[in-house]
Amino acid sequence: MLLDPARLPTLILASQSPRRAQLLERLGLPFQSRPAHLDEEALDSLPAEELARTLALHKAQAVWRPGEWVVAADTVVALGGELLGKPGSVAENRDFLERLSGQTHTVFTGLTLILPSGKEEALVDAARVRFRALEDWEIEWYASSGEGLDKAGGYGVQERGMVLVDAVEGDFYTVMGLPVRRLWQVLARWGYFRGGEGDAA
């Protein structure tokens, strides 16, 4: 099968994340962004893995229209049993980094695909991230940059935050916010690359 991106259906990305959009662009897949707006705090009582799955599913459902392929993802960072969401200020970002310093945490990214018929597939991919023991000035430098304010856990592994991380166990792109390997496999299983919806194997 010769893959012709010009003949593929347009994906609807239920996200305003520039990082997720960038990853779809790198794959050469046609897409349009249609952000979903949810009250995420209403679901904060869920365990981290279930929260990531539920948020991605609800975002996809919120924007789906019959006949469309919709992709949604949501990332949750857990340190032990505690969730670290998007910091609301530089001070809170500084606090997150102090707690992550020298520790290993888990990043859960939920992924949902809704097919043109309305069929849904929802999954969660997880990766473990180990931070270096950070110096106070490094924490101040990164928090003051503002880079982490719109990111779960308060850092971006693909930007300046790359210098904070000692090791990643699992899919780097799960940490970045979109497990592209899993997305590609799900799209293939449902016949997206054949130009239409098929049955999952």
**Is residue 184 domain-resident?**
yes
Question: Mapping DSSP to helix (H, G, I), strand (E, B) and coil, where does residue 50 land?
Answer: helix
**Is residue 199 domain-resident?**
no
Answer yes or no: is pLDDT of 139 > 70: yes
Catalytic residues: 74
β-bridge pairing 69-79 and 11-13: parallel
Residue 172 maps to which CATH number?
A: 3.90.950.10
Quick: pLDDT tens for 80-128.
889 999 999 999 999 999 999 999 999 999 999 999 999 999 999 999 9
The alpha carbons of the chain give a radius of gyration, in whole angstroms, of: 17
Residue in 187, 159, 181, 145 with CA at minimum distance from that of residue 31: 187
**Is residue 69 domain-resident?**
yes
Mean of all residue pLDDT scores within the chain: 92
CA distances from 184 to 27, 113, 147, 190, 196 (A): 9, 11, 28, 10, 15
**Is residue 201 domain-resident?**
no
Quick: pLDDT tens for 1-11.
567 767 899 99
pLDDT tier, 45 (very low <50, low <70, confident <90, very high otherwise): confident
pLDDT: which is higher, 95 or 38: 95
Domain range enclosing 106 = 5-194
For the chain, the domain total comes to 1
**Is residue 200 domain-resident?**
no
pLDDT (0 to 100) of residue 196? 65
